[in-house]
């Protein structure tokens, strides 16, 4: 119930503030026998680490992960797995400005109203650094999915008005381009846009997409635990996401049924869909086609322009934010979306093992 | 874990199939002392009842609700509240066609793969009739919210290419127009479009929107239980919804930070936002502005044209669906969206009572 | 969170009051493909039905179950399964006495304080009739367990001072004897005691025991979800149970380690324990020996003697309870204990399927 | 679902192995505004710390707690609170004996069967050191309860055949006596017994009791979430507990209704019970009298005598355990029982705030 846990059978609980001692996560329900070391986690964390390009905050954090439990002789034990990342670059600076007044687009006001006070240093718990725990958990889920032949990957499809061209799709470019776009040309144009935005003390939004391939048919549960419903929650829970869509998404509202339905056909390899308007789910269960999910991300709320706001005493005032902030959230959020998707899919796969009596009986007969 | 429950403190569990004996819901965690009678529920169910207009299936169902427990002398007792609706219009017909082959855009194929068989009569559990339980639960949540001064209402904003004009907004028209549009002119144009679609044996999609007013600031929980994340799940779990957005939604990806941030200001009545791009949440907590959530709904997958598909034996075949089907889902889904939103908001409000120690101590001091 | 649900993957939600229209249960997470009919449920309900012997209330209820959803063509569909039992023998009588004052040993006072009022007819939701939903759910769990070669059975081991003699153990006698004792001689002596108690307008307590055989090793989860911890909750949640023990139970406190440890030994059939002091669990996981759990049940609080109490206005008064009440709870609670145990064990078995990565990978490879 | 979390609104998730790097806990749902420092936690941990008396293992651990998140400027923030204790005294020794064969009375065999391997060093996750996280979480719960006027305290009532005399009850002696008995004479006799047991290379069991005073009436929820059911689970989940009882416990089975019912009476201070056979609950809700719960604890399974057992290859063998082990578990488990009880009661109190509509409306009106 408390808000810092995600998942049912595979479940993470995250903790930590932007400028506290450390951040971390406890992953519970990790199946026993997975080969796992810190490098498996680190390679995911490095994708969201700050200070790696011109479009990322210059804050320098090693974000070095330490596994504290749940792994023995290189394998997961099946018990709770704790991971920790120490904060090392908390600048000792003057927080009186944001301690006293509410930054537009941030959670300062709402946290103060809910809890009566807040850790104002760098956003405290509402900071993007909160996602370290998500990514560390997602790294485990992704590794398990790989063992099952399931691939999850996310990338940027748009930054402001710049969109990738599917004809240029280059999966390898995702990890190489600072924008996380799988299209080199779009990457260049987006970087130019971001340079302008930054020169204007402004910030930009964008779109990211995540694909799941290799998923068996029938994963997800009817009614409230539909796979797409859980993916929507998972992705909408990422700080700046304001819209989530599956498959054709918003466009279905202007389609006709005859256009939107995906015809089935069979060949020697089995049943397939001729198109994938549905984005890989039917009735909330995976339908064998790739799962396609998209998230629309707002511009970084920390901009370096003067903004009107109020202070803790409820008086009108102005604020001009200083400090180290990304001009765009998307490129570093891509791995967060991938992590949330991987954990959601894994959890649904685990639950799905209990759907049929014959398979349960067979499982225990072995 | 099993998929037929929704919510934590206020929780519903729904059951029933399209052509089974009955459908229903158990609402648990209903606070004691709410005046409640069957008419309170019936008025909500009547909004999703079939057979009420030209754009609704001619299936005639009374959808008469019976309260079986949890109410004593006209008030809720605080214990589990069971409600039941008998199916009365299950046509005795030949289901051999859909028993054997998979309707495109439906859950037939995925249910068969998950469970190895399915109740094929009218879609079984994956039918839209499943939402009866949601609406009955939502009726209770809405009545509780009203006691707290919180109003939740949903309506249609678009059907295919026809969009409402905010200048014409007429709240009273929602319940009067068969499209559930709060704009009489748009309603007329949409009905004309639907007539054409039906004549073409086709179906249409649309957009619905839900508004929550009167919500205190700070409702929702950080990180994974953000109010908007839970709303996204709630709404995406409705059968045909393929995209969910909050506030400016997809448009934030093309906004600049300077445009997207909502400035705060104070006047004698308290703190407000000058705009509501955020759609009523900041950091996942309610921010005092109306909550605005939008859902994009696909066209009814049951169309009366020939479609290519496969049968249970994995052979290619064709299907031409017969029977009684709405040419559009949206108008009858509006009350479902309203119900899901009301339950999500109520659950968050109940949990929010435990956020602050001083308020807990004060609560028990009384 | 709300209190009327039990279990995680296999989960029931119960509802209904003693003198309401009906009682029932929704079972969710029932695996698809189980052959199930109303008679499977009825045979369990008949074991707790009133009016079957001299030591049971003369209230006549058919307690006839109706399955409303979740079964199609004789098999469970994997979706939520709703069952209903109509109340038929609500006597139209004067409840003013118990409406106004608090029966000692009952929940009248605590419900009034919690909810500010209560359904006072026959105890409302706190009546023993609440267990109908448990038993119906347990009948399903038991049938599934049988398919897996797991047997769960409960019986009475003591009524007041009369204890069964293990040397006389006769499993078939459980269902035959009105006391549910597996020992005909003890049954006779217990009936005599109960006759005396009833003549004295008094009531008696007793002990019941439940055995689970055939369980694989390793079922249950470490730390908080130990199999015995969940069994303790399951059994302690039955109305009148005041103590729960596993294996040697209370006697372990006076044992030495050298007496209490169960030695392991191996033979051609595998690993075994020489004794079963532990009652079938080690570290909270099943250890291959039969699970043995015991519950101590208080005497029926409804006695026909004058008792001192207070009324709703907080004034001292006296009450002499009238009506139809069992002189002992145990014999009819035995099937409730069996049901709660079966559901707990099944839920743990389902979750246990996800404990090892190699088995998960193998499951999905098929 | 995964087994390392406890509680709903106030929820802890624990992690760590006996000989891993560290152990810890994340407490979520901690209300904002509680003054909290490491010393508040340390004073609880010190009560379970090893090496403090002759009846405790000589293993020396500082068990020094570090708070890593969730506290800002000395107060809880309402977000997840992470605590860590580093292991410092993992002896580098030869574990080949217990790596290969199964200690009777321990979880070695069941863990190996469940997970296919285990961290065999000192019991790994199944070690009593696992309770560090429980006690740290309980320290927070206890401090919150104190703010509400609720006191929770546990103590030893028996060690083997030695029982405390209620006439000697001295609450202050609990923390002073190495046995945690509130009776100095019994403490002396128990120590003598333990000396003999140790000289015989044997171990002893015992009984502990926990009292909750100051609880309002009506806390707990009907049917499955009864306060006593949740307490039973909480306490039975402590490693060596084999029986749990509330109030008169096992003795109710031999009582008559006329003896067991607690009469109500009223005086100027309100409604009371003349006796407390029920142990503070009626119908699963707190009844205003002190909650009394008792746990029966088995003797330490690690004894220094030769025992028959099997090895990982399923061969018969013998084991004689070496190392550092308490001759009795009870004295150090007392604070664990207190912690589990405090967390259970707090969680029920938080949920209880949502039971009545009038109080909810009033809460939000403020």
Q: Does the distance separating the beta carbons of D296 and C245 come in below 8 Å?
A: yes
Return d(Cα D295, Cα C249) in angstroms, integer: 10
Instruction: Sort out which chain C residues have CB atoms less than 8 A from A353's CB and list them.
Output: 353-354, 360, 363
Q: Does the distance separating the beta carbons of C115 and B2 come in below 8 Å?
A: no
Instruction: Sort out which chain B residues have CB atoms less than 8 A from C68's CB and list them.
Output: 15-16, 20-22, 24, 84
Instruction: Sort out which chain A residues have CB atoms less than 8 A from D79's CB and list them.
Output: 4, 15, 17, 119, 124-125
Could you read off the pLDDT of C279-329 as tens digits, one per residue?
Answer: 999 999 999 999 999 999 999 999 999 999 999 999 999 999 987 788 999
Instruction: Sort out which chain A residues have CB atoms less than 8 A from B357's CB and list them.
Output: none
- The whole-model pTM stands at 0.98
Q: Does the distance separating the beta carbons of C359 and A363 come in below 8 Å?
A: yes
The helix (run of H) or strand (run of E) holding residue D184 is helix D184-199
SS3 A38: helix
For the residues C70-78, what does the mean pLDDT come to? 98
What local confidence, expressed as pLDDT, does residue A238 receive?
A: 98
For the residues B116-136, what does the mean pLDDT come to? 95
Q: Residue D92's pLDDT band (boundaries 50, 70, 90)?
A: low
Q: Cβ contacts of residue D138 below 8 Å, gap of 6+?
A: D44, D335, D336, D338, D339, D340, D341, D342, D343
Q: How many helices (H) and strands (E) does chain C have?
A: 10, 18
DSSP-H helix ranges across chain A: 38-48, 96-100, 108-115, 131-147, 173-176, 184-199, 227-236, 257-260, 330-352, 357-365
Q: Residue C108 in contact with residue C119, Cβ under 8 Å?
A: no
Nearest Cβ partner of D283 from C111, C250, C279?
C111
Q: Residue C54's pLDDT band (boundaries 50, 70, 90)?
A: confident
Q: Does the distance separating the beta carbons of B301 and A257 come in below 8 Å?
A: yes
Q: Does the distance separating the beta carbons of D17 and A5 come in below 8 Å?
A: no
Q: Does the distance separating the beta carbons of D69 and A23 come in below 8 Å?
A: yes
Phi and psi at A107, nearest 5°, equal -90, 10
**What pLDDT tens digit does each residue of chain A (366 aa) get?**
579 999 999 999 999 999 999 999 999 999 999 999 999 999 999 999 877 787 877 777 889 999 999 999 999 999 999 999 999 876 656 677 788 999 999 999 999 999 999 999 989 999 999 999 999 999 999 999 999 999 999 999 999 999 999 999 999 999 999 999 999 999 999 999 999 999 999 999 999 999 999 999 999 999 999 999 999 999 999 999 999 999 999 999 999 999 999 999 999 999 999 999 999 999 999 999 999 999 999 999 999 999 999 999 999 999 999 877 889 999 999 999 999 999 999 999 999 999 999 999 999 996
Query: Tokens at residue C284, please?
Result: 């909270």
Rg (CA), chain D: 22
Taken in order A163, A165, A169, A170, the sign of the CA dihedral is: negative
Which stretch, A313-327, B312-326, D334-348, has highest mean pLDDT?
A: D334-348
The residue among A147, A218, A360 with the most chain C CBs within 10 A of its CB, best to mutate, is A360
Closest chain A residue to the Cα of C141, Cα to Cα: A357
Return d(Cα A241, Cα A229) in angstroms, integer: 15
Return d(Cα A283, Cα A273) in angstroms, integer: 15
Closest CA relative to residue B79, chosen from D222, A38, D83? D222
Return d(Cα B106, Cα B240) in angstroms, integer: 10
Return d(Cα C293, Cα C246) in angstroms, integer: 5
Nearest Cβ partner of C353 from A32, A78, A363?
A363
Return d(Cα B32, Cα D336) in angstroms, integer: 35
SS3 A213: strand
Q: Residue C353 in contact with residue C363, Cβ under 8 Å?
A: yes
Q: Residue A93 in contact with residue A299, Cβ under 8 Å?
A: no
Could you read off the pLDDT of B295-305 as tens digits, one per residue?
Answer: 999 999 999 99
What local confidence, expressed as pLDDT, does residue B91 receive?
A: 63
Instruction: Sort out which chain C residues have CB atoms less than 8 A from D245's CB and list them.
Output: 242-244, 250, 296
Return d(Cα D334, Cα C212) in angstroms, integer: 31
Instruction: Sort out which chain B residues have CB atoms less than 8 A from C22's CB and list them.
Output: 68-69, 82
Burial of residue A100, with CB atoms counted within 10 A of its CB: 0-12 exposed, 13-18 middle, 19 or more buried: middle
Work out the minimum CA distance from D52 to partner chain C, whole angstroms: 22
DSSP B304-366: SSEEEEEBTTS-EEEEE--S---SBSHHHHHHHHHHHHHHHHHHHHHHHTTSBHHHHHHHHH-
Interface confidence, given as ipTM, is: 0.97
Is D341's pLDDT higher than 70? yes
Return d(Cα C356, Cα A30) in angstroms, integer: 9
User: How many whole angstroms from its chain centre is CA C165?
Assistant: 23
Work out the minimum CA distance from B176 to partner chain C, whole angstroms: 34
Query: Which regions of chain B does DSSP assign to beta strands (E)?
Result: 5-6, 11-16, 22-28, 65-67, 71-72, 75-76, 81-86, 151-159, 162-163, 206-213, 241-246, 264-267, 270-273, 281-282, 285-286, 291-297, 306-310, 316-320
Q: Residue A339 in contact with residue A44, Cβ under 8 Å?
A: yes
Q: Residue B265 in contact with residue B252, Cβ under 8 Å?
A: no
Nearest Cβ partner of D252 from C116, C242, C308?
C242
Instruction: Sort out which chain B residues have CB atoms less than 8 A from C15's CB and list them.
Output: 26, 68-70, 79-82
The residue among D78, D134, D354 with the most chain A CBs within 10 A of its CB, best to mutate, is D78
Could you read off the pLDDT of B75-102 as tens digits, one per residue?
Answer: 999 999 999 999 987 665 667 778 899 9
Instruction: Sort out which chain D residues have CB atoms less than 8 A from B349's CB and list them.
Output: 360, 364
Q: Does the distance separating the beta carbons of A253 and B236 come in below 8 Å?
A: no
């Amino acid at each position: 119930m408390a808000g810092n846990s995600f998942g049912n059978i595979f479940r993470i609980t995250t903790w930590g503030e932007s400028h506290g001692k450390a951040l971390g996560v406890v992953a519970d329900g990790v199946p026993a026998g997975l080969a796992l070391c810190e490098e498996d986690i680190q390679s995911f964390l490095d994708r969201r680490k700050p200070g790696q390009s011109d479009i990322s905050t210059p804050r320098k954090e090693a974000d070095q992960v330490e596994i504290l439990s749940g792994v023995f002789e290189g394998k997961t034990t099946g018990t709770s797995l704790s991971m920790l990342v120490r904060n090392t670059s908390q600048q000792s600076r003057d927080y009186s400005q944001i301690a006293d007044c509410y930054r537009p687009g941030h959670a300062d006001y709402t946290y103060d109203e809910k809890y009566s006070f807040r850790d104002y240093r760098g956003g405290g718990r509402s900071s993007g650094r909160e996602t370290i725990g998500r990514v560390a958990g997602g790294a485990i889920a992704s590794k398990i999915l790989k063992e099952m032949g399931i691939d999850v990957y996310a990338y940027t499809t748009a930054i402001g008005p710049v969109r990738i061209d599917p004809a240029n799709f280059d999966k390898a470019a995702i990890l190489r381009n600072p924008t996380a776009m799988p299209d080199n040309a779009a990457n260049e144009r987006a970087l130019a846009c971001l340079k302008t935005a930054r020169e204007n003390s402004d910030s930009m939004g964008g779109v990211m997409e995540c694909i799941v391939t290799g998923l068996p048919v029938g994963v997800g549960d009817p009614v409230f635990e539909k796979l797409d419903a859980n993916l929507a929650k998972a992705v909408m829970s990422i700080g700046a996401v304001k819209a989530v869509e599956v498959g054709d998404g918003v466009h279905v509202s202007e389609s006709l049924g005859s256009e939107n339905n995906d015809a089935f056909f069979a060949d020697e390899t089995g049943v397939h869909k001729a198109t994938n308007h549905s984005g890989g789910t039917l009735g909330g269960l995976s339908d064998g086609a790739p799962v396609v999910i998209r998230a629309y991300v707002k511009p970084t709320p920390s901009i370096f322009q003067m903004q009107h706001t109020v202070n803790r005493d409820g008086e009108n005032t102005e604020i001009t934010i200083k400090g180290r902030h990304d001009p765009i959230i998307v490129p570093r959020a891509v791995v967060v979306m991938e992590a949330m998707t991987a954990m959601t899919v894994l959890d649904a796969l685990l639950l799905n093992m209990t759907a049929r009596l014959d398979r349960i009986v067979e499982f225990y007969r072995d």
